[in-house]
């Protein structure tokens, strides 16, 4: 009967009437139902794979759902390459990130429609993007931490929501792109074990740390898609988890989009996790528990499941309904002239405006970690500069992973060459490789001995840290075993220091580096992350004082691995600044400037509230130094009378502001009740009576450079 009905609904030869799913005046829900009603079982199943098949009889072309854009359209030819996500998080500037996400979505739309005109319907040129990565960077050994916004749930939430909104646009009818926050949930290594690993996470840690950014992206960002993780969470495969995909995502948060598996994750359900026995059982379990789109081919077994009575066809239609709704909202079945985003010109790709935006984000991402005796900024009239290190002339160190190809780029060496006087000598020596190659150290030392200053550009690349299978130089399938500089680079740095010539250390990596010796011996240290196509120019502007650095660390820099639990331990105990008891090398939120800022007039209103009331916090910040610069104002909360375990403190507000010398600005923050919440053993959030400390400054209240002010807030007993 179903097949006969499908045949009756399909167009007869010569029938000129347009099917209802083509009628743009109808609600999307009606159009989706009409299209589903025209499909055979095999056709329905063919649309649940990431490489969705064409349906020629209905004029529906093939579509590949897999596209990437963590920091620019990736793997699809030329695109503007912005700093890697961890670098953009260091800007602490969600407003600038929104502009970046808007630029990325402009380029994605332009590339998609130009690809269609070229007859290219291949991978990475679609409109459904598997970004952002909003996992919590809980351990510096994880190679994919570079893809995230760091270790803090609030910062990650703010940046994630902003990025989702910038990708998806604000048209009342059409989505610009589909954003896909990933990997749901509690996923942050080890990479080598992800296909069989079971992350054991308490309900408190889950709801207090691992889920808030996903919740925010769903409820505030209105993300149209979510990607599941490879691993298990408390025994359930994440891509087939009733707890995650049904109870939390849909029932609690009201998510109405679609869920996509990570690539190959459904095969892991039986092959790695041993939860099911075979492909058929894995397909049934995933679909039943809410995974709608399979990146892979496991859902090819769904027909057999229906025939054998193991699966109701209505569940296939449920998944298809969610997927088709997204495609209709993207305008894929509408005339291009009706879709506002379809007219974005291909000229926007790598345009001058986007080039400048990449430069500005690179500037704002750079963090000044140390500046002894004000060695920086350097004098442009230096006679001679030695530029040394494996990342000084490295394209890979600019781009990070999941990247496109820039039409132009500036390495650190090129940026420095363009910044110094044309009469200055610039001596470049690689010195060593990332992991080996001591033969060049002697030549690097000889160059340093001829220079007025040495700029050592060291660190890692995306070949040394990243995703399993994509970082061939990694120590551990993409992850790191050691968190300091590689031994050969440490040897190079010590040799340069021994010359007696002042050394500026520039670190480039997507993760924290435990540079304890450098902090004790090198006078100036900058962290530039993987800064994108304009990174070399931005770095040179900071080095020579054309730009005053104001990036802040989105992740704690530890002193050694002795300060951390086992990598495989997902408890938040002694992890990140919120729970770590030992003193780090550089704390979360830390960063120096070429000027100084002073805080005053902190006010909290009201000072006593009920559990459901909001609080207004105002503070004045003034630039009391000699040059203009940005300050990142940070607000932290501490619950000092909690009846359950809580973080020592947690970020709940930030604002990046620009101030000229002597200029002051008064800022206002609003604290919502949920920001005061503690979490019970079952993960339930609640606001309890007691005293809270509010701290506002340029970093954590324990950071002597932050100038933070504190005030108390009292939450009354309920009556």
Q: How far is Cα 101 from Cα 166, in angstroms, rounded to an integer?
A: 5
To the nearest 10°, the Cα dihedral for 378, 382, 386, 389? 20
Phi, psi of 714 (to 5 degrees): -115, 130
Catalytic entry in 68, 191, 236, 465:
465
Question: CB-based contacts of 603: which residues, under 8 Å, 6+ apart?
Answer: 617, 618, 619, 711
Residue 191's Cα: distance from chain center in Å? 17
Residues 6+ apart with CB under 8 A from 143: 189, 191, 465, 466, 467, 468, 471, 474, 477, 478, 479, 480, 511
Beta carbons of 560 and 669 less than 8 angstroms apart: no
> Which residues are CB-neighbours of 612 under 8 A, at least 6 positions away?
673, 687
In the block, tokens 């780029």 appear at: 409
User: Of 190, 250, 240, which Cα lies nearest the Cα of 214?
Assistant: 250
DSSP notation for 26-79: S-HHHHHHHHHHT--HHHHHHTSBSEEPPBGGGTBPPEE--BB-SSS-BSSSB-
DSSP 84: P
Length of the chain: 719
Which residue(s) pair with 682 in the sheet? none
Question: How far is 175 from 224, CA to CA, in rounded Å?
Answer: 9
CA 554 to chain centre: 11
Give the closest residue to 567 by CA, choosing from 489, 631, 486, 482: 482
Cα Rg of the chain (Å, integer): 27
DSSP class of residue 12 equals P
Characterize the bridge pairing of strands 650-659 and 629-639: antiparallel
| Helices first, then strands: H and E counts in the chain | 20, 25
Q: Please name every residue paired with 714 in a beta bridge, in sequence order, or none if there are none.
A: 608, 691
Backbone angles phi, psi at 215, to 5 degrees: -60, -45
DSSP code, position 380:
T
147 flagged as catalytic = no
Decide if 15 is catalytic. Answer: no
Catalytic residue among 94, 262, 268, 479: 262
In terms of DSSP H, where are the helices of 227-331?
265-271, 279-288, 302-307, 313-329
Residue 426: phi and psi, rounded to 5, are: -110, 120
Give the C-alpha distances (Å, rounded to integers) separating 312 from 84, 288, 319.
43, 9, 12
CA distance 190 to 229: 13
**How many other C-beta atoms are found inside a 10 Å radius of the C-beta of residue 117?**
8
Measure the CA angle with vertex 136, ends 615 and 484; round to 5°: 120
SS3 assignment, position 96? helix
Residues taking part in catalysis: 262, 465
């Amino acid at each position: 009967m179903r097949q006969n009905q499908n045949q009756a609904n399909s167009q007869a030869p010569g029938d000129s009437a347009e099917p209802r799913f083509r009628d743009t005046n109808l609600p999307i829900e009606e159009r989706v139902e009409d299209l589903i009603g025209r499909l055979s079982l095999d056709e329905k199943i063919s649309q649940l794979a990431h490489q969705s098949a064409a349906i020629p009889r209905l004029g529906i072309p093939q579509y590949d759902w897999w596209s990437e854009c963590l920091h620019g359209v990736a793997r699809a030819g030329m695109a503007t390459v912005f700093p890697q996500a961890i670098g953009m998080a260091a800007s602490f500037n969600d407003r600038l990130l929104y502009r970046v996400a808007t630029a990325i979505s402009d380029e994605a739309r332009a590339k998609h429609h130009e690809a269609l005109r070229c007859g290219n319907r291949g991978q990475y040129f679609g409109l459904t993007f598997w970004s952002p990565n909003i996992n919590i960077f809980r351990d510096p050994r994880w190679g994919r931490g570079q893809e995230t916004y760091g270790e803090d749930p609030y910062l990650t939430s703010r940046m994630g929501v902003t990025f989702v909104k910038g990708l998806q646009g604000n048209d009342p009818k059409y989505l610009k792109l589909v954003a896909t926050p990933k990997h749901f949930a509690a996923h942050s290594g080890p990479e080598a074990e992800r296909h069989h690993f079971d992350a054991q996470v308490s309900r408190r840690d889950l709801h207090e740390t691992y889920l808030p950014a996903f919740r925010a992206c769903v409820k505030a960002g209105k993300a149209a898609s979510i990607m599941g993780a490879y691993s298990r969470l408390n025994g359930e495969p994440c891509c087939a988890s009733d707890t995650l995909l049904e109870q939390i995502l849909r029932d609690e948060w009201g998510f109405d989009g679609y869920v996509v598996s990570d690539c190959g994750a459904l095969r892991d359900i039986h092959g790695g996790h041993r939860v099911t026995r075979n492909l058929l059982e894995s397909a049934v379990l995933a679909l039943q528990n809410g995974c709608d789109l399979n990146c892979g081919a496991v859902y090819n077994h769904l027909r057999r499941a229906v025939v054998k009575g193991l699966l109701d066809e209505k569940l296939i239609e449920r998944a298809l309904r969610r997927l088709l709704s997204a495609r209709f909202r993207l305008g894929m079945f509408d005339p291009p002239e009706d879709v506002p985003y379809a007219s974005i010109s291909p000229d926007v790709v790598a345009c001058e405006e986007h080039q400048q935006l990449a430069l500005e984000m690179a500037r704002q991402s750079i963090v000044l970690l140390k500046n002894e005796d004000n060695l920086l900024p350097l004098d442009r009239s230096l006679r001679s500069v030695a530029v040394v290190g494996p990342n000084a002339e490295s394209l890979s160190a600019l781009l990070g992973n999941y990247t496109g190809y820039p039409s132009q780029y500036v390495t650190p060496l090129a940026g420095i060459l363009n910044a110094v006087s044309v009469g200055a000598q610039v001596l470049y020596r690689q010195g060593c490789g990332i992991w080996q190659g001591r033969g060049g150290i002697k030549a690097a030392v000889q160059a340093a001995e001829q220079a007025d200053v040495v700029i050592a550009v060291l660190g890692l690349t995306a070949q040394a840290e990243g995703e399993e299978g994509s970082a061939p130089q990694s120590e551990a399938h993409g992850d790191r075993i050691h968190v300091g500089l590689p031994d050969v680079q440490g040897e190079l740095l010590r040799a340069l220091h021994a010359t007696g010539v002042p050394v500026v250390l520039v670190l480039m990596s997507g993760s924290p580096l435990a540079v304890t010796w450098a902090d004790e011996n090198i006078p100036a240290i900058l962290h530039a992350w993987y800064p994108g196509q304009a990174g070399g120019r931005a770095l040179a502007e900071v080095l020579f004082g054309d730009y005053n650095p104001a990036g802040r660390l989105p992740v704690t820099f530890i002193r050694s691995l002795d300060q951390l639990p086992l990598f495989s331990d997902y408890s938040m105990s002694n992890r990140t600044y919120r729970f770590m008891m030992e003193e780090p090398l550089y704390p979360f939120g830390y960063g120096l400037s070429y000027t100084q800022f002073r805080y005053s007039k902190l006010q909290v209103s009201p000072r006593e509230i009920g559990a459901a009331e909001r609080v207004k916090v105002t503070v004045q910040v003034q630039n009391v130094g000699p040059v203009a610069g940005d300050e990142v104002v940070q607000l932290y909360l501490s619950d000092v009378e909690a009846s359950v375990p809580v973080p020592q403190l947690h970020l709940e507000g930030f604002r990046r502001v620009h101030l000229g010398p002597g200029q002051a600005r008064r800022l206002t923050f609003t604290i919502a009740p949920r920001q005061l919440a503690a979490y019970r053993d079952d993960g339930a959030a609640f606001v309890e009576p007691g005293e809270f400390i509010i701290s506002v400054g340029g970093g954590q209240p324990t950071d002597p450079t932050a100038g933070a002010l504190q005030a108390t807030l009292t939450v009354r007993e309920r009556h």
